[in-house]
Structure 1
């Protein structure tokens, strides 16, 4: 009998308590229902308009009421009611529904008619790799997933196949297994615009002979047909807009060496070398501090032994001049290059031409202290692509703000990896309806003298203050096994809330841990003064406190602060790899002062 009783108690400890509306939710209901037990459509509309920042379109209020009523657990009884009353519980169901009350809008709302150089573009690195940079398989599967997630720049490394008569995609000088180019091109065509109608850019790393370059041109034209955009680049003084390039495919790579040599342009092998160092950002560790990276990376570079950067080569591999077909050259709409020696020369803006410059994260960090204003001015007209250093063999990523604060449009990431840096990338491109193009803030586009160019290290005044209240969380009992966090009792959840952005804005805070509860109620508020809110992300993580010292991960999301919808919001959480949980969410409130 004693054994039976113990078992019964154990089961009861895992039972999830039903979530109750927080006091602030009850107060808001009482205010807008004017003390009544039920709320009318007009009263809900007033709440949505006044307290929720203008969510109160006529059709929305009616729809919200209908959908929130359907969320009642006693749903079968609704059919017997002629006109169900909208109670405080229905009001709470609406507020805590991510479908009805999300933290961000879902529509493209920014001006999409400016040149491409005025936008941050969702960019992948080595898009064909399924895992690490040295031995994983190459496949079109990660390319398809990236496109479905809204990525707009796909990178392909082209090499001759074993018999030298066709083209493989693989990471050169590694043990990665190849995938055929044609398979990748066909998958890009099929999935390019599944998540967004705005242009897809294919960046090619070219290691081919002229005859194979000709074959690439044939494949590209045959696969994409009228989708391909390739004007006369000699007369291209400004990039077209995302709007003008809807559902178009664009090729970007370095022009063939022979073409450059014919124009008396010297082409040297890239002499970039990488430091031999342990990976400071192993998956799941904290995002590297931006100011530390910018200020101290040069010291680190000088203190470490150099190794060959062949793994990360962003250059072609041809050694002797050959004749390249005009057709291949003419398909390259965005001509790319790397700095040869003088960074000032590389960043010089040509009023009659646009181009793309590629820098490794290490090169950017090294250049930023002395060429910060040049970088910003270059990116007002031209494209800057930043890619991971070669020592990131496990497909980890770097702090993306290194590129964003200097106007770099293509901050290239290993989308097949995971970790906090990638969470920032995912969150940043939730903006503007998730279309893969986010308009750069005006201060990065303004022309002027050195003193007028944005300086991320400057002591700037607070422009906006964000107040975040974390009420409660729910859904873990549905998405996790009862024993996932603790074998003997319900979890002890706490929330971390903070800002990622320029160094002055970056911070992280956390709530208390609520013990033994699947539906934790924190009811804590945090205040974040922001100097550059246009580039800031709100970071939200939930963890389970473990007395052994190794806390368990329970969900995360990053949200662009410039797009947060104020008021009460249901914030969905995602797993480590960026997949949204089915049920897990946090009820929060956002206010701007």
Structure 2
């Protein structure tokens, strides 16, 4: 594996990439992307209007006053109902309908163009909802060399995220057992193993020279030659039973990269403190487990210790058989933490076989990873396929005590939509964007049918080292409930996430045709489609912050770009989707003229879209 180029490293740096920001916990609830900002009053208010805005607003007021007679209670109520589609309570802000109160109405945030989100109907089984979800939540920046921080968890939870990801690796064992096991492995390994270690050291050295700090050491692999004898019982890591700092504990990091780490204990504590800071609806913790059985026991211990009273560790209905547990309704899980983790399989391991077209490549060794320092199959083990030559080195198996915590979210290796695991009510398949597009192209009807009743999670491909995002609307329109996005980046993907979840508590009920009770077989016939004529009139802007690279307002050239994110024809009929969901650009684009000030006057310029087809109210977005 070659080290990333200087160009790649520069592109991934927050200092050179304005869309990639360090996640901070302070005032995170005012930061857009997860939907909570639209529900925060302070994020929607304006203290005053400049003269340009005031002039336009005065003209608009005079037009409205002539038509509705705002100074009468009847006229005011009619305007609010017909044109604003606003609640009657807004009349309290407008009072007697004077211009000053008319201006107050818009500066207060009540005049927001977006109508308030409807209260969520929590009576449906949880597979009938879209869920505001994060990918590699622990990272504060790019996927290659950023830090892991609890502030990242605080940030997304305060912004309304309802599914966070935690990649867990073994903590550093005591130095004596660590050195002894290394010596034993060297004695029993062949020369090939020595070459592998030499190559790994060389790789880490190159990355250190490139980025100026040490790479996180990968977990020890099973030697290709004769395996060393198992360590004595007293050398093994015992389950956590005290607060002793000398005992090794699991850590959270992005494996095979230069990202910094933090302790799993810190993450558990932070999730406990902020899980329901913005929402009382359930929080899903998606675990990616790379730890040994001993450290998995510590994981179970810590989760139960910190999440006691919130953690769902048993079915709500104890009478249900383990393989027939039904998904509960959303309202049954308020203020609960749900764990998504790979489920223990009691079936014998099958012989090595060639992967099908719907399987990802075999698990890659550190020497086979790509330029990003990670495997192209990302960090999600649920999609790992099998090698056509030899089985890959065995990954640590998930112990039963940990697997049991995945009561309603049991991860299974994806083999197809017709396998026995695809009918287990509590299963979840995690697929990369590329693999999910393959499934869409080969079996779209089965994909849509599956997602009406069972959980699926989509995540960005591993090559997105700058934390760029996929196009979430394409995956929502396939019925995928959990579309995991990199909340570190402010791009079109996160803007669409804001549009989906604005003003909600992070769970949005799917359109009727997408639910388990619907007879719809494809997105094309599951939801009503319309043609759209849209016009937007722009008045002015005020106090627009200068970008970091600008220091003179005269050099600043603001304009407004409008994009429509509309279902493509190929999405509804199972044909290859142009771009495969990789780009989050809109299909229809227009922009206003450019100004040269931080207080632009757009002169009531109108941007129009005529005859837009395949528009759905719930799954079409204006950006």
Q: Does 1:473 align with 2:540?
A: yes
1:508 equivalent in structure 2 = 589
Q: Does 1:443 align with 2:513?
A: yes
Post-superposition offset of 1:369: 1.2
148, 166, 169: which one pairs with 1:138? 148
* Aligned pairs, number: 458
Q: Does 1:383 align with 2:467?
A: no
Equivalent residue runs for 1:172-211 within 5 Å: 172-211=255-294
TM-score where L is the length of structure 2: 0.66
2:9 equivalent in structure 1 = none
Looking at secondary structure, tell me which structure has more strand per residue: 1
Q: Is the alpha carbon distance of 1:87 and 1:203 closer, same or farther for their aligned partners in structure 2, counting shifts above 3 Å?
A: same
Q: Is the alpha carbon distance of 1:460 and 1:199 closer, same or farther for their aligned partners in structure 2, counting shifts above 3 Å?
A: closer
Equivalent residue runs for 1:124-523 within 5 Å: 124-163=134-173, 165-232=248-315, 234-255=322-343, 259-260=344-345, 262-264=346-348, 272-273=360-361, 309=375, 312-315=378-381, 326-333=400-407, 334-340=409-415, 343-345=416-418, 349-350=422-423, 353-430=425-502, 433-445=503-515, 452-455=520-523, 462-463=529-530, 465=532, 467-476=534-543, 479-480=545-546, 484=550, 487-488=553-554, 493-503=558-568, 506-513=587-594, 518-523=600-605
Post-superposition offset of 1:424: 1.4
- CA deviations on 1:340-359 (whole Å, 9 max, x unpaired) are 4xx34359742x53310011
1:28 equivalent in structure 2 = 64
Equivalent residue runs for 1:506-585 within 5 Å: 506-513=587-594, 518-527=600-609, 529-540=612-623
Query: Residue 471 of structure 1 aligns to a residue in which SS?
Result: strand
8 Å contact from structure 2 (residues 557, 594) kept in 1:
yes
Post-superposition offset of 1:474: 2.7
Distance 1:347 1:521 in 2: 62
- CA deviations on 1:81-120 (whole Å, 9 max, x unpaired) are xxxx6433532442x3252222334455231211111111
- CA deviations on 1:308-330 (whole Å, 9 max, x unpaired) are 72671312899559897543232
Provide structure 1 residue ranges, at least 5 long, that are not aligned to the other structure: 1-14, 67-84, 275-303, 541-593
Query: Residue 526 of structure 1 aligns to a residue in which SS?
Result: strand
Distance 1:173 1:263 in 2: 30
Query: Residue 531 of structure 1 aligns to a residue in which SS?
Result: strand
Q: Select the structure with the greater relative contact order (CA < 8 A; seq sep ≥ 6).
A: 2
Query: Residue 333 of structure 2 aligns to a residue in which SS?
Result: coil
Q: Is the alpha carbon distance of 1:46 and 1:455 closer, same or farther for their aligned partners in structure 2, counting shifts above 3 Å?
A: closer
Post-superposition offset of 1:231: 2.5
8 Å contact from structure 2 (residues 553, 596) kept in 1:
no
Provide structure 2 residue ranges, at least 5 long, that are not aligned to the other structure: 1-49, 174-236, 238-247, 316-320, 363-369, 385-391, 570-585
- CA deviations on 1:195-237 (whole Å, 9 max, x unpaired) are 1110000000011222211111111111111101123471544
Q: Does 1:97 align with 2:107?
A: yes
Post-superposition offset of 1:16: 6.5
Q: Is the alpha carbon distance of 1:217 and 1:267 closer, same or farther for their aligned partners in structure 2, counting shifts above 3 Å?
A: farther
Q: Is the alpha carbon distance of 1:307 and 1:322 closer, same or farther for their aligned partners in structure 2, counting shifts above 3 Å?
A: closer
Post-superposition offset of 1:263: 4.1
Equivalent residue runs for 1:113-132 within 5 Å: 113-132=123-142
8 Å contact from structure 2 (residues 514, 526) kept in 1:
no
Greater shift in the superposed pair: 460-469 or 117-126: 460-469
8 Å contact from structure 2 (residues 451, 479) kept in 1:
yes
CA RMSD of aligned residues (A): 3.6
Q: Is the alpha carbon distance of 1:437 and 1:26 closer, same or farther for their aligned partners in structure 2, counting shifts above 3 Å?
A: same
TM-score where L is the length of structure 1: 0.69
Query: Residue 138 of structure 1 aligns to a residue in which SS?
Result: coil
Query: Residue 439 of structure 2 aligns to a residue in which SS?
Result: helix
